[in-house]
């Protein structure tokens, strides 16, 4: 599979604009030979601005799947360029809202996943199931942003057969108890053309890429699975994001990564022959679930509110 991941700076609530950028980057990916392109979390609507919306405001952004206007437009783009597309939007079903990521191919929706750990707005409900689906001969899973931080989610998805996990995010450059993590000053972004080195240093440090590299390659390595990580660049709402969309192999190695500050893509050719050679593949086969299945299944009250949400 020739796999592309994208990054772009969205406009809050402007579905028409965001879909136009998705169209442009999909065309670019197709011209470079990609079979699949993956965009970031809530790429059609934008994300962070939703944190302060009341129910009527946030509901007005939501659409049904597959009959909503944005889904139909995503299908049109996919058909136009003969390429599979994955993107995110706010879904509504029976007056409940979901942070949803979908895959379209061959003129239809072939997979839909609802974020398991939503927190941006209290009116968004959590999804309650893992999704593994067939795409161009590959078994694929989806985990949205925070879902990937819970290692059980990744293990469960790979145990269900996933060979490639799409990991759409809106992340990075937010405060945390971890030393070095914080917002990136807007001045760096405004001066990015005059002083790109200073912005790159901020984005590559513990506020951005440095934090990603602490855990993201481990998810691939420990589970013997490819990872397609996507993230916006520039402002999503009032938060500056570092992009760094990338593709990781089952050895935990970065195959390709977007290093620009522009709306852009990166492409890698991925091959299944790496998977059975990877450590994570062997470790899954070495498991002894009789030792820990009762421990992992113990009752537990989930608390997944990030520090930056608590402080805002």
Q: Can you give the pLDDT at residue 80?
A: 97
Q: Can you give the pLDDT at residue 236?
A: 97
Classify 213 as helix, strand or coil: helix
Percent of the chain with pLDDT over 70: 99
Q: Can you give the pLDDT at residue 308?
A: 80
β-bridge partners, 140: 133, 164
To 5 degrees, how large is the angle CA 130–CA 114–CA 111? 70
Q: Kindly tell me if the per-residue pLDDT of 310 is higher than 80.
A: no
At 233-265, the pLDDT tens digits run 999 999 999 999 999 999 999 999 999 999 999
- Interval 184-210 mean pLDDT: 97
Q: How far is CA 93 from CA 87, 113, 124, 125, 191, in A?
A: 18, 13, 11, 10, 43
Within 10 angstroms of residue 96's Cβ, the number of other Cβ atoms is 12
At 88-144, the pLDDT tens digits run 999 999 999 999 999 999 899 999 999 999 999 999 999 999 999 999 999 999 999
Q: Kindly tell me if the per-residue pLDDT of 312 is higher than 70.
A: no
Q: Can you give the pLDDT at residue 47?
A: 98
DSSP 63: B
Domain spans, the chain: 2-311
Tokens found for residue 34: 């990609």
Element housing 261 (H / E): none
Q: Kindly tell me if the per-residue pLDDT of 304 is higher than 90.
A: no
Closest CA to 58 of 91, 33, 81: 91
The span from the CA of 14 to the CA of 208, in Å, is: 26
Domain covering 2-311, topology: Nitrilase/N-carbamoyl-D-aminoacid amidohydrolase (3.60.110)
Q: Kindly tell me if the per-residue pLDDT of 169 is higher than 90.
A: yes
At 33-89, the pLDDT tens digits run 999 999 999 999 999 999 999 999 999 999 999 999 999 999 999 999 999 999 999
Q: Kindly tell me if the per-residue pLDDT of 147 is higher than 80.
A: yes
Q: Where are the beta strands (DSSP E) in 18-174?
A: 36-38, 84-93, 96-105, 108-114, 124-125, 132-135, 138-142, 164-168
Q: Can you give the pLDDT at residue 244?
A: 98
Contacting residues for 244 by C-beta, under 8 A, at least 6 apart: 7, 172, 203, 208, 209, 212, 229, 231, 257, 258, 259
- Interval 193-220 mean pLDDT: 97
Residue holding tokens 């965001």?
18
Q: Kindly tell me if the per-residue pLDDT of 311 is higher than 70.
A: no
Please state at what angle helix 209-223 crosses helix 151-159, rounded to 10 degrees: 40
């Amino acid at each position: 599979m020739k796999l592309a991941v994208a990054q772009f700076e969205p406009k809050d609530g402007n579905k028409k604009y965001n879909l136009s950028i998705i169209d442009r980057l999909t065309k670019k990916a197709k011209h470079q030979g990609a079979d699949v392109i993956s965009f970031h979390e809530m790429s059609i609507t934008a994300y962070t601005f939703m944190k302060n919306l009341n129910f009527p405001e946030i509901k007005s952004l939501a659409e049904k799947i597959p009959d909503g206007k944005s889904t139909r437009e995503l299908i049109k783009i996919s058909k136009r360029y003969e390429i599979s597309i994955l993107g995110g939007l706010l879904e509504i079903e029976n007056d409940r809202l979901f942070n949803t990521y979908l895959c379209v191919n061959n003129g239809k929706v072939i997979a839909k996943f609802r974020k398991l750990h939503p927190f941006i707005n209290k009116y968004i409900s959590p999804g309650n199931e893992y999704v593994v689906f067939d795409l161009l001969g590959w078994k694929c899973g989806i985990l949205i942003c925070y879902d990937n931080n819970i290692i059980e989610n990744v293990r469960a998805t790979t145990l269900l057969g996933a060979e490639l996990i799409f990991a759409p995010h809106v992340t990075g450059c937010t405060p945390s108890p971890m030393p070095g993590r914080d917002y990136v000053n807007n001045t760096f972004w405004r001066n990015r053309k005059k002083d790109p080195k200073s912005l790159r240093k901020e984005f590559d440090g513990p506020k951005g890429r440095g934090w990603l590299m602490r855990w993201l390659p481990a998810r691939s390595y420990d589970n013997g699975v490819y990872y397609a990580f996507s993230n916006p660049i520039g402002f999503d709402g009032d938060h500056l994001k570092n992009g760094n969309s990338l593709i990781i192999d089952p050895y935990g190695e970065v195959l390709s990564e977007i290093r620009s500050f522009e709306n852009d893509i990166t492409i890698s050719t991925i091959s299944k022959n790496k998977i059975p050679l990877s450590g994570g593949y062997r470790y899954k086969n070495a498991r002894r679930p009789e030792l820990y299945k009762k421990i992992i299944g113990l009752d537990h009250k989930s608390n997944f509110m990030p520090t930056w949400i608590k402080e805002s």
